[in-house]
Amino acid sequence: MENIKIRRALISVFDKTGIEDFAKSLADMGVEIISSGGTAKAIEAAGIKVRYVQEWTGFPEMLGHRVVTLHPKVHGSILALRDDPEHQADIEKYGLEPLDLVCVSLYPFDKAIAKDGCTLADAVEMIDIGGPTMIRAAAKNHKFVTVVSDTGQYQQVLDEMKANDGAVTFGLRQEFARQAFALTCSYDTAISTYLAQQTGNDFPERISFSYTKDSELRYGENSHQRSSFYRAPDATDEPCIGRAKLLSGKSISYNNYFDANGALELVKEFTEPAVAIIKHANPAGCAIDNDLVEAYRKAYYSDVNACMGGIIAVNRPVTCELATAITETYKRWGKDSGAAGFFAEIILAPSFEKGALEIIQNREGWGKNVRILEVGDFDGKQNKEKFLKFVVGGMLVQDRDLLGLNTDDWKVVTERQPSEQELFDMKFAWLVCKHVKSNAIILAKDQTLIGAGAGQMSRVNSAFLAGELSKQYGGGDKIDPAGCVLASDAFFPFSDSLDWAKQAGATAVIEPGGANKDDEVIEYANKLGLAMIFTGARHFNH
């Protein structure tokens, strides 16, 4: 495939960033420029000669600028094959003037619908028709035409033209064509998704998702797997891992992204100052406290061994005091804490106080490597995007689990009512349990996770593990499990898990209810003197 010299270009852009400089550089290299509307006026105002599309085609703009470039001369001049005799005959017959470069940016539909007060009529007017049509036509004919669909491509085109006597290589034309089709696919996806929402059809017969590549990762879950991170189009609406800024440290890995997301989503559940420490997709520690440093200390003592190398998430700005507490864990809490050599993979928070970042970076051993992520203020916004899971040959799509404390549906089913402290801890435990892999059992006391049984094939084994972990580690700083509460992400099919709850020191249990043997479970809870709440909702997290 040969290089194609750029002699004639059609430019029609909504985003006029850098367009005057681009057009001037093209004109300086002898390129004839054809344009329309505001783009033509901007180019002309910069002192660059331009032919207006309506003069070129002999057909005026019409329907309030809805029809400008939808004309046979425009698309014939884009789609003509220079090496096809029949096309050459049509070029001469219909007076076509082949275009070598087509530069188009689309109406920003996604930004329009994101504005408060955007109506359906407003959204429809921001659906670009002529732009995608020209982009697709130019991309199809990339054998001869260079399609420019992003401002970031301007310099690449100019560099190639300067290096190749005004010509662009086939390799760049092909790459730009690929990017162009990805753009129009994304554009149509945004429109389709919006219209589905307007009609109340969240699960249409065809569904598409469009994400933008953010970065290539070193590898995936394992070193033999390739991976990249792609950003969702509405990642700016909610504090999330997709909009996080890496302030310091090594690049983020595939597993880091997954675990950091889990940590962030957990601390977002709480309005009180909260700290979560995630390891291998599960909470190794979590606590809330009016004192942020105390919340960290309690979270760390949930399981000091598991917290080693974990991901720390905080729902408040990281203060210098908290930064010091994290970096001096060993020094503050002594050898018995198990903190010798303690390090964190990631610390993420809404923001970092002045000086806090330097305290972390200066921590000898791992401070320079720990990834510091800033996610922005927690403003309560929640994206309504779908939750996707891929299987071989297909994809599962569901709503996000945004159900928080559904206390209006809670029901005390035992003879004994929970105390005020037990109820306080049960609310905390229920939110934490939502973020533990099913089958999930957690024990909590004083707003602190003290034991978790995650991902076991039987619920009774999860209860056993949670109880065992609640007794281990931490020396005198570990919370005494006596008087703790137990939370289960789904109902107890049998009453045997209550034996482990009682043995672990639990005095109250919160679970969804709904099992065939609920009556038997309630009767046994009464026998053991436990208070029990049925929530009426479960939180499987596979």
Residue 484's Cβ-count burial label (10 Å; 0-12, 13-18, 19+) is buried
Catalytic residue flag (residue 368): no
Catalytic residue flag (residue 224): no
DSSP state of 241: G
Pick from 11, 104, 103, 105: nearest CA to 56:
11
The catalytically annotated residue of 140, 143, 386, 471 is 140
CA distances to 103, 130, 132, 190, 247 from 12, in Å:
6, 10, 11, 21, 37
The catalytically annotated residue of 73, 87, 250, 280 is 280
Pick from 390, 386, 381, 503: nearest CA to 441:
503
Q: Which amino acid is at 176?
A: F
Q: Which amino acid is at 341?
A: G
Q: Any idea which residue has 């960290």 for tokens? A: 296
Helix (H) or strand (E) holding 25: helix 19-28
Q: Are 3 and 19 in contact (CB under 8 A)?
A: no
Q: Are 320 and 286 in contact (CB under 8 A)?
A: no
CA distances to 119, 247, 349, 351 from 377, in Å:
28, 16, 9, 7
DSSP state of 454: -
Question: Which residues, in sequence order, are CB contacts of 282 under 8 Å at separation 6+?
Answer: 262, 435, 436, 437, 452, 454, 455
What residues are annotated to the active site?
140, 280
